[in-house]
Amino acid sequence: GNTASPAQTSPSDAVTGGITVLAAASLTDAFQAIATDFERAHPGTEVTFSFGSSATLATQINQGAPADVFAAANEPTMRTVTDAGAAQHPQIFVTNTLEIAVPRSNPGNITGLADFADPAKKIAVCAPQVPCGAAAQRVFAHAGVTARPDTLESDVKALLQKVQLDEVDAALVYHTDVVAAGDAVEGITFAAARTAVNRYPIATLTGAPNPGGAAAFVDHVLSPLGQARLDKAGFARP
């Protein structure tokens, strides 16, 4: 997909009421800021979030969750929702790239992706079943590195936590996670990251109780103001 949506910012009087947004947990900070902007731009609206793992949210949508918008952390999950006919016209609104995260003082002396093949170092990556793991496999393949991870985590936050606690020497996480973690971790970029860009789709839901509000929110996320908030959290534009 692309951002082909016409910027037909509807007059604010057309948008009212509550808008329920199901969003991947990694979007928490950025989306909460976006919601504040949105409510200011459209008085009379109130945005409610339910953050969770994309897969859980998809299950809920397929079970008839009374929500208006779904923002997923990857395209396959969005596809399970669109395949079920619960959402239409997903649009990619941000992308994210992998980055090496190491504890603040870098005790493992990690310099690049090659260190992931060192069995002496404690290495954490995502499991191949989850999006960040699939992406990691792609970059390893591209860089020709045979990774020797000690653990295959089910989400990025679990990786980051271990880095912060100095329990692993390096982990492959997203750039946004390194930004969110602040001083606690250091990020090391690497070239192969380009080969596995993760793309976040957003869509209005078929059963949305407030379709007008839903469309307006999606538009707002795609608008420059929305994109600026996402920028600040470390996301890249699609």
Partner 1 sequence: MPTPIPWLLALPALAGLSFLVLPLLGLLIRAPWSNAWQVITDDEALLALRLSLITATVAMVLAVLLGVPLAWLLARSDLPAMGWLRAVITVPLVLPPVVGGVALFTVLGRSGLLGWPLYQLTGFAFPFTPYAVVLAQTFVALPFLILSVEGALRAADRRYEDAAATLGARPLTIFSRVTLPLIGPGVAAGAVLAWARALGEFGATITFAGNFPGTTRTMPLQVYLALETDPSAALMLSVLLLAVSVLVLVLLRDRWVNRW
Q: Interface residues with partner 1 (CB under 8 A)? A: 20, 22, 25-26, 28-29, 48-53, 55-56, 59-60, 63-66, 122, 124, 127, 129-130, 149-154, 157-158, 160-162, 164-167, 180-181, 184
Indicate the DSSP class of residue 236.
B
Residue 48 CB, shortest distance to partner 1, in Å, is: 6
Closer of 39 and 89 to partner 1 (Cβ): 39
Closer of 71 and 192 to partner 1 (Cβ): 71
Residue 144 CB, shortest distance to partner 1, in Å, is: 23
Does residue 61 contact residue 208 with C-beta atoms inside 8 Å?
no
Integer Cα distance of 210 and 151 in angstroms: 43
Handedness of CA 83, 86, 89, 94 (dihedral sign): negative
Residue 8 CB, shortest distance to partner 1, in Å, is: 30
Integer Cα distance of 208 and 18 in angstroms: 11
- Residue 213: strand pairing partners: none
Integer Cα distance of 128 and 38 in angstroms: 36
Residue 161 CB, shortest distance to partner 1, in Å, is: 6
Residue 9 CB, shortest distance to partner 1, in Å, is: 27
In this structure, the number of other CB atoms found within 10 A of the CB of residue 101 comes to: 28
Residue 146 CB, shortest distance to partner 1, in Å, is: 16
Closer of 16 and 80 to partner 1 (Cβ): 80
| Residue that is written with structure tokens 């999006």 in the block | 131
Closer of 100 and 192 to partner 1 (Cβ): 100
Closer of 180 and 216 to partner 1 (Cβ): 180
Integer Cα distance of 217 and 47 in angstroms: 9
In this structure, the number of other CB atoms found within 10 A of the CB of residue 141 comes to: 14
Closer of 164 and 195 to partner 1 (Cβ): 164
Strands 123-126 and 170-174: parallel
